[in-house]
Amino acid sequence: MKILALMISLFVALEHLGFLYLEMFLWTKTAGQKIFGNSREDAEKTKVLAANQGLYNGFIAAGLIWGLVHPVSQVGYQIQLFFLACVMIAGIYGGITARKSILLIQGLPALIGAILVTFLMTSA
């Protein structure tokens, strides 16, 4: 169970590093425009906002990785739980306001991770 919980947290962290890359470096490229459904003009107009959003995704990834490598496991679990909760809230908000798929892509893995990490916190 512990390995599964850590793998899910790592998956969510890697997912957010991917979002960072997409939003900071591919936003105005053809691939980024296709992924996000933007025209070249819209991508150019919003590239600063996207880069800012990407930076925040990097902070989420950094926080999860911090929780994963923290030398005190109970503290690490709490850190992971905090950042997974942030991702869940962002996933719910994005699912309501932007695309429903965000709820599944972002929110569901974070929910599963939070449940597993909570289980680890209460079983230790």
Q: Would you kindly state where each structural domain of the chain is located, as residue ranges? A: 2-123
- Write down the pTM of the prediction: 0.93
Per-residue pLDDT of the chain (124 residues; tens, 9 = 90+): 889 999 999 999 999 999 999 999 999 999 999 999 999 999 999 999 999 999 999 999 999 999 999 999 999 999 999 999 999 999 999 999 999 999 999 999 999 999 999 998 887 6
CA angle 83, 87, 92 (to 5 degrees): 150
Rounded CA-CA distance 96/52 in Å is 21
Task: Output the pLDDT for position 117.
Answer: 95
Which residues does 122 contact at the CB level (< 8 Å), separation at least 6?
none
Rounded CA-CA distance 63/53 in Å is 16
Task: Output the pLDDT for position 51.
Answer: 97
